[in-house]
A and B are shown apart, each in its own frame.
Chain A
Amino acid sequence: MTKAETDPELAYLPFPAGSQPPYAVARYGSTGKRAPHQPLIAAVPTIERSGPALSADQLPADADLSQVAGRAALGERIIVAGRVTDEADRPVPHAMIEVWQANASGRYHHERDTHDAPIDPNFRGAGRVFTDAGGNYRFVSIKPGAYPWRNHTTAWRPNHIHFSLFGASWGARLVTQMYFPGDPLLAIDPIYHSVPDPDARARLVAAFDLELTQPEWALGYRFDIVLRGLHATPFEVP
């Protein structure tokens, strides 16, 4: 156990208002029977203050989704990179990041995806990377396509890559989606709009980054991620 896990003066900070979605989202139909109705119970984290130390020894890294056995996937090759920190801008080293996404045609390599778009045999669409000592990560993929879903008439998901992250403690666990700048579907997507604060939504959109771009090879996008950390709680002023 590290000091952070056992020091009772350290706690999670509350989320800023509007920065996280509520469970019940009227325009996202699947929340209707799945969002809890009873009030949540505020818990003092105990076992949640520690967390798994997942490593590439147990879960092999795969930072290149853009090919299978050396055969290139169809689509626009991209490099996605960024930095994972906590709220105090401290890097989160050795964090496991899992990513998954649709192919360039907007089809997942998944038996339950029935969208009438072609499967690409050279694109499986899942990867796993770990942040370095400075909290930095990087992987190569292709730009995912938009795809329809049955939430409402003409519902199409914007281009997105799913991210799953494990931080320094269980309470830092985050699953989110990275979007692409300039996507017209963002304006009408109920899942993106489940986050009330427009600035918090905008932070889910990656930045096109010419410095990450590799000439003659791939476009670069930067997506920085902030996980919950354990922090010294400020003294309450009576």
Chain B
Amino acid sequence: MKFAEKILFAAFSILLTALALVACRPAGPQIEIKEAWGRPSPIQAGTGAAYMVINNTGSEDDKLISATSNVSEAVETHDMTMENDVMKMFRLDGIDIPAGSSAELQPGGKHIMFIGLYNKLEVGQVITVTLEFEKTGQQTIEVEIREP
């Protein structure tokens, strides 16, 4: 191989590798759920709450649109505000998870709410929750019940 050919070959290889890398970069959202936990609930038919951090490491926005679980009749996303010491809670129609960003669900803020629990939620129990994202689709996670 001539020297010039060698150079050309090397340049071409580099170009190909770069192209491959670009192609492999996750297109669309990349959802990752961490630190999921739920609060114990003392009454059957009562309510419960779960918290977690939802990361989107991808290049496209996503949105948590709904959740289901076999522990309660309904699962909803709620948020609350505190104004002049008055707590106002309200239902959300979903939680946005922008690209390269994360949503933190934590006490005193956004949370997954279980309504009409079939059983009490007790410390140590692990429940399964399926989250439905607009683009990523369904993600099933395990949520440990523990004291805050």
Answer yes or no: do A and B interact: no
Q: Which B positions have Cβ atoms within 8 angstroms of A?
A: none
